[in-house]
């Protein structure tokens, strides 16, 4: 396959490339069959800006392969093998024993997607970047990130609460496209789950998901178990306000929940979604 000259590349539209980064650099040309095959072979060598950018490029490349009637068996097999290897390595680094989970998701993500259209992936990518930086800085571990949800864990409950506060403050300070209101709800709960080759398993995983779902965008909810575990070790400037006992879907009995209060965090939320 002949290498594209600078003038030939300049004549191609952005849609003729599988990947265009945030600086406008265009990579992996897919305008003809030969270049699609080359892009399939070179995909793993490209340093993508984030997971969202990688996924968009992957979809564009597979669509181009379909147009040219290329069956990318080797590419798909390699992707699955790579994903399994990365997942196994990630799981091996997760803590065992007592852990505190942090679950976050974007409130009203479907409405945001409808409003922002093609700009929504950029918003999601930036939210994910903030979450990952905060979690890493707090010695936390990312467990999973799918769609608008983000799942992480910490060995110290106070670190999870501090990370949640930092995530909310940074998202609140950010200016978003079309002045959109991007709000994330966060739930925190701890336990002693079992770590398997598929990830964490246990009631505490389901509980943190329900705690998160009970909140509103901008709000941080903490379970009684986590609150008890932080006695004497709460981050400076952080208070927990009791919101009473609530029944959470699929969980036995009532769960007493608390709202994190700290300077800069939003207040005045509606009743919990229980």
- As a whole number of angstroms, the distance between CA 201 and CA 196 comes to 7
Domain 94-261: which CATH number of 3.20.20.70, 3.30.70.1230, 3.40.50.2000, 2.40.50.840:
3.30.70.1230
pLDDT at position 237 is 94
How many CA atoms, within 13 angstroms, populate the side-chain half-sphere of residue 214? 30
Q: Where in the chain is the domain with CATH 3.30.70.1230?
A: 94-261
- As a whole number of angstroms, the distance between CA 221 and CA 213 comes to 10
* 229 CA to centre of own chain: 26
Burial class (CB in 10 A: 0-12, 13-18, 19+), 135: buried
Q: CB–CB of 205/245 below 8 Å?
A: no
Average pLDDT over residues 40-56: 82
Q: Which helix (H) or strand (E) holds 77?
A: helix 73-92
- As a whole number of angstroms, the distance between CA 47 and CA 44 comes to 8
Residue environment code for 79-98, b if the CB has 16+ CB neighbours within 10 A, otherwise e:
eeeeeeeeeeeebeeeeeee
Q: Is 158 helix (H, G, I), strand (E, B) or coil?
A: helix
Secondary structure letter of residue 130 according to DSSP: H
pLDDT at position 81 is 52
Secondary structure letter of residue 246 according to DSSP: E
Dihedral, 61, 65, 67, 71 alpha carbons, nearest 10: -150
In the chain, what percentage of residues exceed pLDDT 90?
57
Question: What's the pTM?
Answer: 0.71
Axis-axis angle for helices 120-137, 109-116 (nearest 10): 130
Axis-axis angle for helices 51-67, 33-42 (nearest 10): 150
Q: Is 145 helix (H, G, I), strand (E, B) or coil?
A: strand
Q: CB–CB of 52/128 below 8 Å?
A: yes
pLDDT at position 172 is 95
- Give pLDDT tens digits for 162-181: 999 999 999 999 999 999 99
Average pLDDT over residues 184-188: 98
Q: CB–CB of 4/17 below 8 Å?
A: no
pLDDT at position 45 is 82
- Give pLDDT tens digits for 67-95: 888 866 565 555 545 444 445 446 778 99
């Amino acid at each position: 396959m002949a290498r594209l000259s600078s003038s030939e590349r300049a004549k191609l539209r952005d849609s003729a490339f599988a990947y265009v980064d945030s600086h406008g650099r265009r990579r992996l040309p897919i305008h003809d069959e030969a270049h699609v095959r080359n892009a399939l072979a070179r995909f793993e060598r490209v340093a993508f800006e984030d997971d969202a950018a990688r996924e968009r490029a992957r979809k564009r490349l597979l669509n181009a392969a379909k147009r040219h009637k290329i069956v990318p068996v080797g590419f798909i097999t390699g992707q699955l093998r790579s994903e399994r290897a990365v997942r196994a390595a990630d799981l091996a680094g997760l803590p065992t024993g007592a852990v505190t989970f942090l679950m976050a998701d974007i409130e009203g993500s479907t409405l945001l997607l409808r409003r922002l259209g093609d700009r929504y992936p950029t918003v999601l990518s930036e939210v994910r970047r903030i979450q990952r930086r905060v979690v890493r800085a707090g010695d936390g571990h990312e467990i999973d990130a799918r769609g608008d949800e983000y799942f992480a864990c910490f060995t110290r409950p106070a670190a999870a609460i501090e990370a949640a506060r930092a995530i909310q403050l940074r998202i609140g300070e950010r200016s978003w496209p079309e002045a959109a209101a991007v709000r994330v709800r966060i739930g925190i709960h701890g336990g002693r789950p079992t770590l398997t080759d598929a990830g964490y398993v246990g009631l505490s995983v389901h509980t943190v998901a329900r705690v998160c779902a009970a909140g509103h965008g901008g709000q941080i909810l903490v379970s009684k178990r986590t609150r008890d575990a932080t006695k004497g070790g709460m981050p400076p400037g952080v208070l927990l306000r009791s919101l009473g006992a609530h029944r959470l879907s699929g969980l036995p009995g009532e769960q007493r929940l608390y709202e994190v209060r700290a300077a800069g965090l939003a207040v005045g939320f509606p009743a919990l979604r229980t």
